[in-house]
Amino acid sequence: MNPVLADVVKLLQLERIEKNIFRGESRDIGSPQVFGGQVLGQALSAAHNTVEDRAPHSLHAYFLRRGDFNSPIVYQVERARDGGSFSNRRVVAVQHGQPIFNMAASFQHLEQGLEHQAEMPEVAGPEGLQSAFDIRQAILDKVPEKMRRYLAHQPPFEFRPVLPPNFLNPVKLPPIKHVWMRACDRLPDEPALHRNLLAYISDYELLGTATLPHALRFDQGHVQMASLDHAMWFHCPVRVDQWLLYSFDSPRAFGGRGTSRGMIFTQDGKLVASTAQEGLIRVKH
């Protein structure tokens, strides 16, 4: 397996300390704090480890404090409810004696029911599009060291934006974005692993959609951004090692916060997951 992807898979395989307590390691991806998607994926993995024969259909999380990527994170799971069809879990992530994140996740026995979905946007397919990693590599010598560390990080997924970003000379755009993504290598046939990885990757690109109408220059160091909360709905089974279209929009920014929404489609148009996030966006003048 691709070593970068293998490392993330390992990150999501938590150490069980006690029946409902787990520990996970962290990685430095060039940002000032632990990547939010890592905490999401690990928290969902911890919850998964306390549920049998049920799949998550939703999660709602809050980021409380910056995570320290130099220290492990402990995940405490509360088995809030196990009903006939649904199970609910509450997860608190603790680091240095303080909660840095909490999440509620709901699991369900798969069953048949009514079905409809939003239409997939009509955009170019992934074939022939330039990867986001290659776009970033081309400008590394033109950005400050702090930003260079983040842009140089090799993610475990390949991203191909339909409209390539312009980091150095941004223009004001509608708050809409489409990015193709898939894991960098083939993954085992483990549904829980694919859901955990989808939670991990769902934090990429989401909040940035709220900045598109404002043409912000991130290389100048005057923009502060941080995820405040994250919601996700898993509609049906998914494989993250096949192309997925992540379509974003941002309906509102106000009061130093921006709200973004996302829909994740398979290449043949099936809506497999939806996301929503509010984040801090401060511009220092």
Three-state DSSP at 88 gives strand
> Catalytic residues, which ones?
203, 227, 277
Q: Which structure tokens are listed for 263?
A: 């829909």
Under-50 pLDDT residues of the chain: none
Q: Measured between alpha carbons, how far is residue 258 from residues 34, 67, 137, 171, 207 in Å?
A: 20, 21, 28, 18, 7
Of 52, 111, 62, which is closest to residue 90 (Cα–Cα)?
A: 62
Question: DSSP label at 210?
Answer: G
**pLDDT score recorded for residue 187:** 98
**pLDDT score recorded for residue 143:** 80
Q: Which structure tokens are listed for 243?
A: 């192309």
Q: Which structure tokens are listed for 219?
A: 């290389």
User: Does this model's pTM top 0.85?
Assistant: yes
**pLDDT score recorded for residue 203:** 94
For domain 3-110+130-283, give the fold.
Porin (2.40.160)
**pLDDT score recorded for residue 222:** 82
**pLDDT score recorded for residue 168:** 83
**pLDDT score recorded for residue 194:** 98
Of 277, 279, 275, 276, which is closest to residue 238 (Cα–Cα)?
A: 275
> What is the 3 state secondary structure string of 136-199?
HHCCHHHCCHHHHHHHCCCCCEEEEECCCCCCCCCCCCCCEEEEEEEECCCCCCCHHHHHHHHH
Kindly give, in sequence order, each residue whose CB lies less than 8 Å from that of residue 177, ignoring residues fewer than 6 positions away. Answer: 161, 162, 163, 205, 208, 209, 212, 247, 248, 249
Q: CB neighbours (10 Å) of residue 160? A: 24
